[in-house]
């Protein structure tokens, strides 16, 4: 139900021109809120938000969260950070800065405004896990000096900052750990497995699998994930998370490749390459906390989500 003027909120979304940020903004605007979208366009795209420019409740600001931001808002969603290995390994120092200094700046803003703040964390805080499926009380198995560390450890440090601000300053924080997510508006060259496979299949190019293709992932469609964000943000201050937001159905990468080939009618063959450093062998969320605290679980299963995503890539 759309909000009226009295209940309308002004909400800051950092990373708002990105894949997930732009869909979150759509949902916030649809329910009647005002949105300030902040993005430096390192990985975000103006194409993702161009349909919003005539909306009087939408405002866009080009800004890097590594620098302080002085605005007046009622809530903050902090999504700013490159999220695919291709992008975050391109400038690993800047990736770490975005996670850590960006968190400090957004938490400082939330402290000044006394407002609720959401952190988009990641399942990568679990590293290459020794526990399966992964529950929120698992501390993880992360290489602190590897090529993925800029993202993994940056997000872990951001979580530390959020919980220290919560304990020390009674800040109302919400931390979501995002598992593999896919859907329309993914960047076709972002290096993530779903977009890689679909683009290769549509071009009838070899589909590249790393290792033996038996490593597992759990794929959550974007609409389900955004619904989880909103439900988490609506919880009472006593509930902070972290909470896993993802689809618990687990697939091998080989199964994903075969399904994409089938659904696209592609002539692509499979091509196996060496496994990258620190690539996790298993990834599956335990969503018991999300079910209990948010009354949330994903609805869109892989075949239906892939159908919508394949059509998007065909259209562009």
**Domain edges within the chain:** 10-182+220-248+284-299
Q: Which of 88, 126, 151, 182 is catalytic?
A: 151
The predicted pLDDT at position 154 comes to 97
pLDDT tens-place values along the chain, 316 residues long = 566 666 799 999 999 999 999 999 999 999 999 999 999 999 999 999 999 999 999 999 999 999 999 999 999 999 999 887 787 888 999 999 999 999 999 999 999 999 999 999 999 999 999 999 999 999 999 999 999 999 999 999 999 999 999 999 999 999 999 999 999 999 888 888 999 999 999 999 999 999 899 999 999 999 999 999 999 999 999 999 999 999 999 999 999 999 999 999 999 999 999 988 878 888 999 999 999 999 999 999 999 999 999 999 999 8
CATH architecture for segment(s) 10-182+220-248+284-299 = 3-Layer(aba) Sandwich (3.40)
> Do you know the residue count of the chain?
316
The angle at the Cα of 183, spanning 182 to 189, to the nearest 5 degrees, equals 75
Q: What is the pLDDT of residue 83?
A: 81
Say if residue 268 is preceded by a cis peptide, omega within 30 of 0. Answer: no
pTM of the model: 0.94
The pLDDT score that the predictor gives to residue 4 is: 60
Half-sphere exposure of 312 (CA within 13 A, CB side): 18
Cα 185 from chain centroid (whole Å): 13
- Assess whether 151 carries a catalytic annotation: yes
Strands (E), 157-230: 173-178, 181-182, 207-210, 216-218, 220-221
Cα–Cα dist 47/17, whole Å: 8
């Amino acid at each position: 139900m759309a909000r009226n003027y009295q209940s309308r909120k002004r909400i800051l979304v950092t990373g708002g021109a990105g894949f997930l940020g732009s869909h979150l903004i759509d949902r916030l605007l649809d329910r009647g809120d005002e949105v300030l979208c902040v993005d430096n366009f390192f990985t975000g795209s103006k194409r993702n938000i161009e349909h919003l420019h005539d909306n009087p409740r939408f405002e866009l600001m080009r800004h890097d969260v590594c620098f302080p931001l002085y605005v007046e808002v009622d809530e903050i969603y902090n999504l700013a950070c490159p999220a695919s290995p291709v992008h975050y390994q391109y400038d690993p120092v800047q990736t770490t800065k975005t996670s850590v200094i960006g968190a400090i700046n957004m938490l400082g803003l939330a402290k000044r405004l006394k407002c609720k703040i959401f952190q988009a964390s990641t399942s990568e805080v679990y590293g290459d896990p020794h526990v399966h499926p992964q529950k929120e009380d698992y501390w993880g198995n992360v290489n602190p000096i590897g090529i993925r560390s800029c993202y993994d450890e940056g997000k872990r440090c951001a979580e530390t900052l959020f919980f220290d601000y919560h304990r020390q300053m009674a800040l109302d924080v919400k931390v979501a750990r995002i598992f593999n997510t896919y859907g329309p508006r993914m960047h076709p060259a972002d290096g993530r497995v779903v977009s890689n496979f679909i683009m290769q299949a549509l071009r009838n190019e070899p589909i590249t699998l790393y290792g033996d293709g038996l490593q597992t992932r759990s794929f959550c469609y974007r609409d389900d994930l955004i619904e989880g964000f909103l439900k988490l943000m609506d919880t009472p201050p006593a509930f902070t998370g972290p909470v896993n937001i993802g689809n618990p159905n687990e697939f091998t990468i080989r199964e994903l490749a075969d399904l994409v080939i089938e659904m696209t009618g592609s002539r692509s063959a499979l091509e196996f390459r060496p496994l990258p450093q620190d690539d996790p062998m298993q990834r599956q969320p335990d969503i018991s906390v999300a079910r209990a605290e948010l009354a949330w679980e994903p609805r869109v299963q892989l075949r239906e989500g892939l159908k919508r995503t394949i059509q998007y890539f065909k259209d562009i």
